[in-house]
Structure 1
Amino acid sequence: MISLAAKKETRDRMSVLLISPQPNLDILGLKGLHLLLLERGYDSTLLYLPRLMEEDGWRTRLSAFVKERNPHFIGISLMAYDFDAARAITDAIKKCHPAIPIVWGGIHPTTSPEACAEYADYACVGEAEQTILDMAQAAKEGRSFDDINNLCFIRGGVFNRNPLYPLVEDLDTLPIGCQMPDRTFVLARGRIEPIDKGHLKRYRRYRGALYKLLTSRGCPHNCTYCCNHFLRQLYGRWPVRHRSVEHVMAELEAAVVEGPPVEYIDISDDCFLANDTDRLALFCEQYKKRIGKPFIVKGTARYFTREKMDLLSDAGLGWVNMGLQSGSQRICHEIYDRRITSEEFLEAARLIARYPVAAYYDLLVDNPYETLEDYLQTADVLSRIPKPYFTPIFSLILFEGTKLRKRALREIPDQVEDPRGRDYLVRTRNPAIGLLEMASLLPGGVMRRIARAYGANPASRWVRIVMMAASVVCRIILAPIANLRVIRRSQHGSIRETLRVLPIFFDHAIWHYLYYFTPFKRRTRQDVQGLRSERGSAKRAG
């Protein structure tokens, strides 16, 4: 039993509540801030609110939790997609606890601080480590937050913006990540409870079998649609800063034994292949010796070399992600400022195909500048990539602060949407995008003939019938086969290991098929997840 003295000490201690409204538990930034506060001796609590809108009575439970924790301030981390949830959470807390300051942080408040300051007491811009430590110390001493760097706020109807702290140069000064930090809770099935392995399996991607981490911050590229371009302008520089190999290995050694069984390590650096060869060799040597799990890396075409692929493959590389975005040189060069040609991309894809690894190549669609001819060029490039491979197709969102959004507002303002609440996983249905969905599955020659016929006469009834028939064959027959082949490559050709890891991909496959067979042009991710939940509930009830 806790003594009265201990209870008083807890009440008197400065406390912080950090809240994530994101729909899964695969977050890094907010978890890192929570670990930093704990490491420096502050009483921090991290609360996940995944699938918030599916939870009945969440406002009452959240209010009771806030009352119990009695924080000196609350931090909410969000992207543009999470805006509605963050606003609802803020409103619910302010209704019952109006005196508690609330600060919004993350990439959306960084790019739109003035708009966010209309809902939260403060908006935090940029890297927040030193800012949150300053806030914790100020709260402990009873001081205002108004003079703390990186914070923005509105006073007397006037927007105030404080100076920025410099970038964190030495990432090894930050805490090592972990799967289940102390004082971490999750709202699950109507209750707020301490996080455990079951929650990670339920609310993390791939049933918790994928562990995500960053080994660096920054990006060598300057794509017009990406926040990295904004951050480079914000700070005047945005260099790639690396953690030491030992710092990374210490995190991974703990992660693979702490939570649910880890099948893949997801290195989420914007361009891991940009590491120089010496650093990559040291990483691969230590990883093979100390971790030994299949891992996932991202890169762009110009950074793929035979020497780097030899090192990565020998260390256990399972998946490679490379962005194509568009097969149109006009779009890549003039719109996205990606100075990589289609032939350079294909050369890198052919190199990757020589190794026993799985590949997936990202595409962007719903670009208001893209024409049918651009889509046909993309389909042609996809048809020439060695199979099998995945093609994640994302809807382009013109996020606040990006160079491309500013250009579109000048040139085509009627086609610029509010990015808040937009889901990049949900794209517009049209036949041209349908070509891209088929291109990774159909034989190259067949795909190119269909694309040429559609390009010559998009309104042709017979062409539409052929495309519809090909689409059905792809979704029902070719896609499952291709998926199995790709997953097998991620396990270096082992049928036994493929069968063992196959269940972790089932949820993703279900979402994929529900999306394709829903009747509306554009559904939100919650719509499709809700449809899946309803079907699952009906099945259990039956």
Structure 2
Amino acid sequence: MKCALIVPAWKPDEIFPAGTAGSQVNYWQPLGTLYLGACLIEAGHEVEFLDGSFLSHEDILRRVGALKPDFAGIYSTTFGWPGAVRTAAGIKALDDRILTCVGGPYPTAVQDACLGDGCEAIDAVVVGEGEETVVDILDRLRSGRDLTGIAGVIARTEGGILRNPPRPLIEDLDRLPFPARELLGDRSRYIPAAGTYRRKPVALVMTSRGCDRRCIFCFQMDRERKSGIRGVRYRGVDNVLREIELCLRQGYREIKFIDDSLAADRDRAMRITAEIRSRRLDFTWFASVCANQADRELFQAMKDAGCWAVLIGGESGVQKNLNTIRKGVTLDRIRDAVHAAKDVGLRVTVPFIFGIPGETLVDALKTIDFAIELDPDLANFHAMTAFPGTPLHDRAEEYGTVSGDLRDFTYQGAAFVPHGMTRDEILKVRQMAFRKFYSRPSFLLRRLAAVRSRDDCRTAVSGLRSLFWLWMDRALFRRKKPALPPAPAGRAPNRNIP
């Protein structure tokens, strides 16, 4: 059968401030969708991937009209939900016989509410991991049967909403086919943000699923951490290395490991680095680690195996804030991890968050000071966001207020405001943090001295342009919002911020 897998159309300035989008936007490979594509291809179906990162809404509909698919699978985040609704409506206008199905973090969080008022063009919701579910759906379509009994599916029927039982998480990840990167087309378009890669093209690889941390702002399929080992399901080391070798044969020169923490199992991480060295694989790579799971020995092993940069979660410069978000780490451990990574020659990125429940403006200023003290190569300053499906969203009334406008659930939206702070304070302190961190003469001189190639030069120019707008535009993080189709009835964020 014919399948269209779709990421709805979006524009960088809908997510990032227009003045800084060039240095912040990520065009990452949509790994989850590529896994679905691989499973459908393995099951004998014809698959076309339509990526709204590079196609307009009209282009997507034209391609769907030419393909005439039996099934359209539409990916959606919280911010992307209006685009998913619009895409489904456009597809149904082309051919009402196409089964339209949504999946991703937002549909998994709000579930059957995705079939509520204003969402009549959506036929079904895939809840949780979709690799096995979409194959079962296509098997039913091929045999002319309905979706009754398919685990992980909520569907619209003539008699109402069909709620099938949940599907267990996939414990044996090694039995999944590798992501169908051949569906991407021009892979050179898929690059991370400027300054966060060294060689192109860049492939994304996930060696595990889940996280053993319990941060209140993070969306996890396994919220109770009952699967795998303390909530983390690991692929076998040989399986990971075979995917890396396939990526290299396909021409990729760098890999970004997108595990929540590659160091969640330190011994396994050491085995992966040892295998990369023993097989003499030539690629550069980037990974994220939790500060209390890594040490100098691991960082050195990573660097010896081709790693050039790591992301280490910082979040706040105030210990009580780290305790509030259940980060499970101390300020000293963050310091130790950042210093150890820098000592072995890795470039370090540290993200921080403003608007943590209970945070004050004084706390936010301490976080800026902490970022400057750590002096990583890159720092990101985010606004806390209470995404549906997270503990923060579940207890939002206790912590603060959540915007009812899905367009605020972006990099610049400040969709959550804790008691004791205002939205304007969060937006202003973020801009102040970027200014103070990136305007330091020592930082600017170090970055200019690191320019070695044409890509480095483009990154430097993009960064300077962003810095200009950080100083010139006082309302940088406020923007005109795109049109908003309705949110799912009954389960959308339920409190408004002006």
TM-score range relative to shorter protein: 0.7 to 0.9
Q: TM-score, normalization: structure 2?
A: 0.80
CA distance in 1, matches of 2:395, 2:316: 19
Task: Tell me if 1:135 matches 2:144.
Answer: no
Q: Any conservation in 1 of the 2:171–2:227 contact (CA below 8 Å)?
A: no
Q: Give the structure with the larger helix fraction.
A: 1
Corresponding position of 1:522? 477
Q: Residues 62, 296 of structure 1: CA spacing in aligned structure 2 closer, same or farther, 3 A cutoff?
A: closer
Task: Tell me if 1:48 matches 2:51.
Answer: yes
Corresponding position of 1:326? 316
The match for 2:248 among 256, 260, 272 is: 256
Stretch of structure 1 that moved more, 116-125 or 376-385:
376-385
Q: Which ranges of structure 1 fall in alignment gaps of 5 or more residues?
A: 1-13, 185-194, 442-472, 489-494, 528-542
Query: What is the DSSP-based 3-state SS (H/G/I as helix, E as strand, rest coil) of the residue aligned with 1:287?
Result: helix
Deviation for aligned residue 1:438: 4.8
The match for 1:402 among 386, 390, 395 is: 390
Corresponding position of 2:179? 177
Task: Tell me if 1:424 matches 2:411.
Answer: yes
Letter in 1 for 2:96: P
Deviation for aligned residue 1:482: 4.0
Q: Residues 411, 62 of structure 1: CA spacing in aligned structure 2 closer, same or farther, 3 A cutoff?
A: closer
The match for 1:121 among 97, 120, 123 is: 123
Q: Any conservation in 2 of the 1:388–1:482 contact (CA below 8 Å)?
A: no
CA distance in 2, matches of 1:167, 1:116: 21
The match for 2:30 among 3, 27, 30 is: 27
Deviation for aligned residue 1:325: 0.8
Letter in 2 for 1:175: P
Query: What is the DSSP-based 3-state SS (H/G/I as helix, E as strand, rest coil) of the residue aligned with 1:81?
Result: coil
Corresponding position of 1:460? none
Corresponding position of 2:293? 303
The match for 1:481 among 445, 451, 463 is: 445
Corresponding position of 2:459? 505
Cα shift readout 1:509-542 (whole Å, capped 9, x = no counterpart): 3773475244534246999xxxxxxxxxxxxxxx
Cα shift readout 1:11-43 (whole Å, capped 9, x = no counterpart): xxx222111126545210011110111122222
Q: Residues 338, 69 of structure 1: CA spacing in aligned structure 2 closer, same or farther, 3 A cutoff?
A: same
Corresponding position of 1:316? 306
CA distance in 1, matches of 2:395, 2:339: 35
Corresponding position of 2:282? 292
The sequence identity of aligned pairs, in percent, is 24
Query: What is the DSSP-based 3-state SS (H/G/I as helix, E as strand, rest coil) of the residue aligned with 2:336?
Result: helix
Mapping of 1:457-472 within 5 angstroms? none
CA distance in 1, matches of 2:256, 2:480: 22
The match for 1:231 among 222, 226, 246 is: 222
Cα shift readout 1:38-71 (whole Å, capped 9, x = no counterpart): 122222222212155xx4xx43x44443233222
Query: What is the DSSP-based 3-state SS (H/G/I as helix, E as strand, rest coil) of the residue aligned with 2:378?
Result: coil
CA distance in 1, matches of 2:144, 2:398: 46
Mapping of 1:436-447 within 5 angstroms? 436-438=433-435, 440=437
Q: Residues 178, 270 of structure 1: CA spacing in aligned structure 2 closer, same or farther, 3 A cutoff?
A: same
Corresponding position of 1:533? none
Q: Any conservation in 2 of the 1:124–1:151 contact (CA below 8 Å)?
A: yes
Task: Tell me if 1:346 matches 2:335.
Answer: yes
Query: What is the DSSP-based 3-state SS (H/G/I as helix, E as strand, rest coil) of the residue aligned with 1:295?
Result: strand
Q: Any conservation in 1 of the 2:208–2:235 contact (CA below 8 Å)?
A: yes
Corresponding position of 1:220? 212
Cα shift readout 1:69-126 (whole Å, capped 9, x = no counterpart): 2222211011112112212211111122122111100111000112222322111110
Corresponding position of 1:267? 257
Query: What is the DSSP-based 3-state SS (H/G/I as helix, E as strand, rest coil) of the residue aligned with 1:227?
Result: coil
Deviation for aligned residue 1:166: 1.7
CA distance in 2, matches of 1:435, 1:522: 12
Deviation for aligned residue 1:177: 2.9
Q: Residues 332, 157 of structure 1: CA spacing in aligned structure 2 closer, same or farther, 3 A cutoff?
A: farther
Q: Residues 418, 106 of structure 1: CA spacing in aligned structure 2 closer, same or farther, 3 A cutoff?
A: same
Q: Residues 25, 345 of structure 1: CA spacing in aligned structure 2 closer, same or farther, 3 A cutoff?
A: closer
Letter in 1 for 2:215: C
Deviation for aligned residue 1:419: 4.0
Letter in 1 for 2:299: M
Q: Residues 162, 233 of structure 1: CA spacing in aligned structure 2 closer, same or farther, 3 A cutoff?
A: farther
Stretch of structure 1 that moved more, 195-204 or 30-39:
195-204
CA distance in 1, matches of 2:460, 2:33: 28
Q: Residues 76, 217 of structure 1: CA spacing in aligned structure 2 closer, same or farther, 3 A cutoff?
A: same
Task: Tell me if 1:16 matches 2:3.
Answer: yes
Letter in 1 for 2:50: L
Corresponding position of 2:20? none
After superposing on structure 2, the runs of 4+ consecutive aligned residues of structure 1 that deviate more than 6 Å are 201-207, 234-238
Corresponding position of 2:378? 390
Deviation for aligned residue 1:251: 2.0
Letter in 1 for 2:94: C
Cα shift readout 1:118-176 (whole Å, capped 9, x = no counterpart): 32211111011111110111111011123311111344685442112221111111112
Letter in 2 for 1:423: T
Q: Residues 226, 524 of structure 1: CA spacing in aligned structure 2 closer, same or farther, 3 A cutoff?
A: farther
CA distance in 1, matches of 2:468, 2:51: 26
Cα shift readout 1:230-264 (whole Å, capped 9, x = no counterpart): 632497787211222222222222323425x63x3
Corresponding position of 1:95? 93
Letter in 2 for 1:433: R
Q: Residues 367, 392 of structure 1: CA spacing in aligned structure 2 closer, same or farther, 3 A cutoff?
A: same
Letter in 2 for 1:432: V
Q: Which ranges of structure 2 fall in alignment gaps of 5 or more residues?
A: 11-26, 415-423, 483-498
Q: Residues 235, 142 of structure 1: CA spacing in aligned structure 2 closer, same or farther, 3 A cutoff?
A: farther
CA distance in 1, matches of 2:110, 2:214: 20
Letter in 1 for 2:34: K
In our comparison, the structure showing a higher alpha carbon Rg is 1
Corresponding position of 1:379? 368
RMSD, aligned α-carbons: 3.1
Q: Size of the alignment, in residue pairs?
A: 447
Q: Any conservation in 2 of the 1:405–1:416 contact (CA below 8 Å)?
A: no
Q: Which has the higher contact order (CA 8 A, sep 6+)?
A: 2
CA distance in 2, matches of 1:419, 1:312: 39
Q: TM-score, normalization: structure 1?
A: 0.74
Letter in 1 for 2:298: K
Cα shift readout 1:485-530 (whole Å, capped 9, x = no counterpart): 6xx4xxxxxx7xx426515736863773475244534246999xxx
Q: Residues 478, 417 of structure 1: CA spacing in aligned structure 2 closer, same or farther, 3 A cutoff?
A: farther
Q: Any conservation in 2 of the 1:111–1:401 contact (CA below 8 Å)?
A: yes
